Amino acid sequence: MPSVEISHRDMEVLLGRRLSLDELRKLLTIAKCPVEKVDGDTIKVEAKDTNRPDLWSSEGMAREIRFRTTKPGLRVYELARSGIEVIVDKSVREVRPFTACSVVRNLKLDQAALSQMIQLQEKVASNYGGGRRDIAIGVYDLDKIKPPIRYTTVEPDGIKFVPLDFEKELTPRDILTKHPKGLEFGHLLAQAKRYPMFIDSSGEVMSIPPIINSNFSGKVGERTRKVFVECSGFDLVRLSTALNVVSAALAERGGRISQVKVRYADRTILTPDLKPGKAELDLSHFRGLSDLQISSREARDLLRRSGYGIVGEKGGKLQVLYPAYRRDVMHERDLMEDMLISHGYDRIRPQPLRLPTVGASSEIEEFSGLISSLMIGLGFQQVLSYTLTNRHNLFSKFNLEDQPVIELENPVSSSWSIFRNWLLPCVVEFLSNNTHVDYPQRVFEIGDVVIPDESRETKAVDRRKLACAIAGAVAGYQDISSALDAVLRSLGLQCGLRACSHPSFIEGRVAEILMDSGRIGVIGEISPAVLEHWKIEVPISACEVDAGVLLERVAGIR
Amino acid sequence: MPERFRLTEEGKRYLKRGLPEHNLLSALQAGPLTVGQAGRTVDNLNIALQWGKKRGWIRIEGGAIHLVKTPDAIPEQEALKSVSRGEAVSEELTRILVQRKLIVPESALLEELQHLEGKAVTQLTPEMMSTGFWKKVKLKPYDVTVLGARIYPAKLQPYNHFLSGLRRKLVELGFREMTGPTIETEFWNYDALYQPQAHPARNWFSTFYLKGASLGELPNVASEVKKAHERGVSGSTGWGYRWNPATARRLMPRAQGTALSARTLAEGPLTPGKYFAIARCYRPDVIDALHAVEFNQVEGIVVDESLTFKNLLGILEMFAREVAMVEEIEFIPDYYPFTEPSVQMSGKHPDMGWVEIGGAGIFREELTKPLGVQVPVIAWGLGVDRLAMFKLGLTDIRELFSRDLDWMRKTTVI
């Protein structure tokens, strides 16, 4: 969801009339670009639709608003031929195989227009183009370019030019290590032996995509009258859409789009291709989905107010044209939503559901609730922790060797880097945060742990555990075992205890909890060394038991 | 009039649990025991040994206690029962029971209480009750306006309490709870929801990946999902790219609760069916007062042939009233990758003002058809954490998983 900044005044210019902030706010909301923040003339909107890059600039937003207010119907762009050619060298196949280009003339770019152009380029490349990996966009001052243009590759040290906003000539390799954009996007060329390059016929470098333009031709300002636009990347369809979005936005400011001949080794294409796409809308489907009794005429009107064109009707199906800057129309549902928005959500009366269904909470949650009520009855306060934790808390602070766990590859913080595979550490961590609070403290948690398990569909399995602890001057084995016993007896269950050895507990004061000769948990007094690690100065007795097994047994009893 | 006797506290205990010597004899039925072993099962073992030897029922030999003979009955035990019923027992047994401090003559009790006669006392005792002496004292009044020491009941964790209430509400509204694994395949988290493999959320910055993890398994419906992505189904063009099964098999912690809805649909939901999940989700967000890497999503689906866009609004309206307790609401267009059309609902909360309450949409056919569902499915989600924070008086989302015991003890449950 890109966040886009626009100017209130600029919107008025594009819409050709004055608008109050409230009015503009409403219109933007309907265009799925709700206002987030207003700072003087600057309005920050959140463009909700990640598939509508055409709405990521004021030109696109204004166009969308015009459909619903003053100028319904398909927006048609006249195309001229620029006579300019881009020759694509075979070597780009290895690094960045495709480009599509356009020329826009007759421009008058003021500050608002310039900042919108730059912002749109950035947002499209980063949000629609996978952080410039899939799509990079360059805009150049056509007056400084001598066609034909070559899209080719160059050795990292094979050429020198002044990159945008620099004064010194650098080689492409230097740009990657010295220029801010090189540092930011250099990783996209890390594997490349040769770098992609746009260069004109006089040998002036235009850019090293997807990194940086040259300072000479790649700089566009208020005096620029015509621009050359290129998109490069890996998916010709997607990058053509991006080119259409940028070209159409410039055309909204009076620019005239011309096509460019892009010569590949095996074919030549004319870009941009602004031919509208075709879709069908079955009126009965729309009536069914919307539960609105709408005539064909009204339906056409709704479509036109959403920026679509209608070329006819075949067997109850409206033949619809959608603009070439949109690639999100995949299914008639996409048309239907736009029609509903144009109709107005606020004009549709909500209808309550009347379905005969029976509600139920899940068995494990129901059972966890039961156990919680028993624990509370025994005076234990419930606590709730994150399932993410770290090795230090889970193992070393409990005197344990490392164990196999599910670990994040890209944690945001080392504190939350693995999934807990036992629950007791979370409870003890909680107690360690409350050493200043009155003792005794009796707490419990019931929650999931995640265990690696290669036999499972997702190579891991969740287990629901109960962990409880008593901390205070008197917190012995007898206290915790009688609590455990009380819970189990209330569930109609019985467990056995078998002395065992466990590094987290005091030797001779720890037992395995057994049920039908299977181990379902551990109980004992926490080792003073562990308490020291947690900076806890009172004894703790604690236990952890597999609530999932208890549920299975209880269900078996029933 | 013969002397009346009362059982002492110890006498009452033995009446209930048996005299120590009786319990020892029972334990010895299975064979000799060491003193240590006997001590674990028999309270007051010393008394038991003393009387057992005196009566010739046991002998101690080589550190073990052996049974010599088992009496038909233990007279003291029978006598204790009789006294408790107010019946007279032989002088000899009375003497032994008094000596063993298991009974006490009422006169002795009264004698002890005598000095309190006519006085004002603070404590009403069991002796006063059993002898009727309470009639002869005056119970001092308290300052009943003074509270006792402050204590705190154990209770549910506040955020969990909130979620439990929400769960109950959703069940009352006819929704069934869905559950699913914490670790998911990208398939269920994204592909099955028709999110293309190049979707902006499917990267290092928006999705957690697992270290050194092998790949998960794909279900049978994967081939249909592949078709939907590549060429489209049900009149759709699809995304038009080459779908990679290896990407779909990658493992990740669930990033959105909708993964559970996808699984429910693939398993064959009830029709009509209403489902919900309170799903723990994980995303590599910047951690601040409004974002945590681990959080809950509350969402679900409604499945039925009859569903329309008007029902979509109807469901949201119901949630506004029943869950968020707001009356004034507003529907606005929104975008979710897997629903079309999509609606967001804001509501005017009496104290919080206008807030985003939730969103809903009708699942795209590119999602439902490959999973084998032919009828419309409404998907909904509720932004409950802000509601929870408001209710609990919190300003930081991390405090929902509070680590402050003092706050939990003191906070109200209302």
ipTM: 0.91
**Cβ neighbours around A367 below 10 Å, total:** 21
Q: Give the mutation candidate from B164, B175, B204, B211 for the A interface (greatest A CB count, under 10 A).
A: B211
Instruction: Give the model's confidence band at A130: pLDDT under 50 very low, under 70 low, under 90 confident, else very high.
Output: confident
Q: What domains lie within chain A, and their CATH numbers?
A: 3-69 (3.30.56.10), 79-271 (3.50.40.10), 277-342 (3.30.56.10), 363-557 (3.30.930.10)
pLDDT tens readout for residues B241-253 = 899 999 999 999 9
CA angle A311, A313, A319 (to 5 degrees): 50
CB contact under 8 A, B340 and A360: no
Torsion-angle region of residue B174: left (phi > 0), alpha (psi -120 to 50) or beta? left
B187 close to B196: Cβ distance less than 8 angstroms: no
Q: Are strands A195-199 and A205-208 parallel, antiparallel or unpaired?
A: antiparallel
Decide if pLDDT at B362 tops 60: yes
Q: Smallest Cβ distance to B170: which of A359, A433, A448? A: A359
**Maximum CA extent, chain A:** 91
B171 close to A361: Cβ distance less than 8 angstroms: yes
Nearest to A325 by CA among A67, A44, A42: A67
B284 close to B208: Cβ distance less than 8 angstroms: yes
Rounded distance, CA B342 to CA A248, Å? Answer: 27
pLDDT tens readout for residues A281-322 = 999 999 999 999 999 999 999 999 999 999 999 988 999 999
Tell me which chain A residue has its CA closest to the CA of residue B296: A386
Nearest to B173 by CA among A370, A109, A486, A361: A361
Rounded distance, CA B225 to CA B186, Å? Answer: 13
In the stretch 46-105 of chain B, residues with CB closer than 8 A to chain A read none
What's chain B's average pLDDT?
A: 91
pLDDT tens readout for residues B117-170 = 899 999 998 888 888 889 999 999 999 999 998 899 999 999 999 999 999 999
In the stretch 142-171 of chain A, residues with CB closer than 8 A to chain B read none
Torsion-angle region of residue B49: left (phi > 0), alpha (psi -120 to 50) or beta? alpha
B304 close to B283: Cβ distance less than 8 angstroms: no
pLDDT at residue number B351: 81
Decide if pLDDT at B350 tops 90: no
* C-alpha distances out from residue B13 to A397, B19, B20, B41, B130, Å: 46, 9, 11, 16, 17
Q: Which residue has the tokens 């049900």?
A: B234
Decide if pLDDT at B1 tops 70: no
- For residue B322, the chain A residues in CB contact (below 8 A) are none
Does B284 contact A at CB distance below 8 Å? yes
Helices (H), B269-323: 309-322
CA angle B267, B270, B276 (to 5 degrees): 80
CB contact under 8 A, B315 and A379: no
Decide if pLDDT at A558 tops 70: no
pLDDT at residue number B286: 81
Average pLDDT over residues A136-146: 96
Residue-by-residue DSSP string for B89-154: --HHHHHHHHHTTSEEEHHHHHHHHGGGTTSEES---HHHHHHTGGGGSEEPPP-TTS--------
pLDDT at residue number A248: 97
- For residue A334, the chain B residues in CB contact (below 8 A) are 340
A522 close to A502: Cβ distance less than 8 angstroms: yes
- Name which residue leads in pLDDT, A473 or A500: A500
Instruction: Give the model's confidence band at A516: pLDDT under 50 very low, under 70 low, under 90 confident, else very high.
Output: confident
Nearest to A336 by CA among B190, B272, B197, B235: B235
Instruction: Give the model's confidence band at B352: pLDDT under 50 very low, under 70 low, under 90 confident, else very high.
Output: confident
- Name which residue leads in pLDDT, A370 or B200: A370
Order of strands across the sheet with B176-177?
Answer: B176-177, B273-282, B294-303, B377-382, B353-363, B339-349, B329-333
pLDDT tens readout for residues B169-198 = 999 999 999 999 999 999 999 999 999 998
Does B399 contact A at CB distance below 8 Å? no
pLDDT at residue number B330: 94
In the stretch 8-37 of chain B, residues with CB closer than 8 A to chain A read none
- For residue B290, the chain A residues in CB contact (below 8 A) are none
CA angle A464, A442, A495 (to 5 degrees): 50
Instruction: Give the model's confidence band at B213: pLDDT under 50 very low, under 70 low, under 90 confident, else very high.
Output: confident
Does B298 contact A at CB distance below 8 Å? no
| Residues carrying CATH 1.10.10, chain B | 5-107
Rounded distance, CA A47 to CA A55, Å? Answer: 7
pLDDT at residue number B391: 86
- For residue A441, the chain B residues in CB contact (below 8 A) are 405
- For residue A364, the chain B residues in CB contact (below 8 A) are 179
- For residue A419, the chain B residues in CB contact (below 8 A) are 182-183, 253
CA distance B34 to chain A (A): 21
pLDDT at residue number A193: 93
- Of chain B, the end-to-end C-alpha distance in Å amounts to 62
CATH class of B5-107: mainly alpha
- Name which residue leads in pLDDT, A394 or B113: A394
Average pLDDT over residues B337-363: 91
| Residues carrying CATH 3.30.930.10, chain B | 158-410
CA angle B326, B327, B330 (to 5 degrees): 95
Average pLDDT over residues B333-341: 93
- For residue A362, the chain B residues in CB contact (below 8 A) are 177-179
CB contact under 8 A, A290 and B309: yes
Tell me which chain A residue has its CA closest to the CA of residue B313: A350
A262 close to A236: Cβ distance less than 8 angstroms: no
- For residue B302, the chain A residues in CB contact (below 8 A) are 353, 355
- Name which residue leads in pLDDT, B40 or A40: A40
Please report the number of interchain residue pairs, chain A to chain B, with beta-carbon separation below 8 angstroms: 266
Instruction: Give the model's confidence band at B290: pLDDT under 50 very low, under 70 low, under 90 confident, else very high.
Output: confident
Rounded distance, CA A523 to CA A502, Å? Answer: 10
Rounded distance, CA A388 to CA A420, Å? Answer: 6
CB contact under 8 A, B178 and A333: no
Rounded distance, CA B38 to CA B35, Å? Answer: 5
In a 10 Å sphere around its CB, with 0-12 CB exposed, 13-18 middle and 19+ buried, how is residue A13 labelled? Answer: middle
Rounded distance, CA A67 to CA A48, Å? Answer: 19
**CATH code 3.30.930.10 for B158-410:** yes
Does A201 contact B at CB distance below 8 Å? no
Nearest to A323 by CA among A335, A337, A315: A335
The first and second tokens of residue B247, run together, are 């990407």
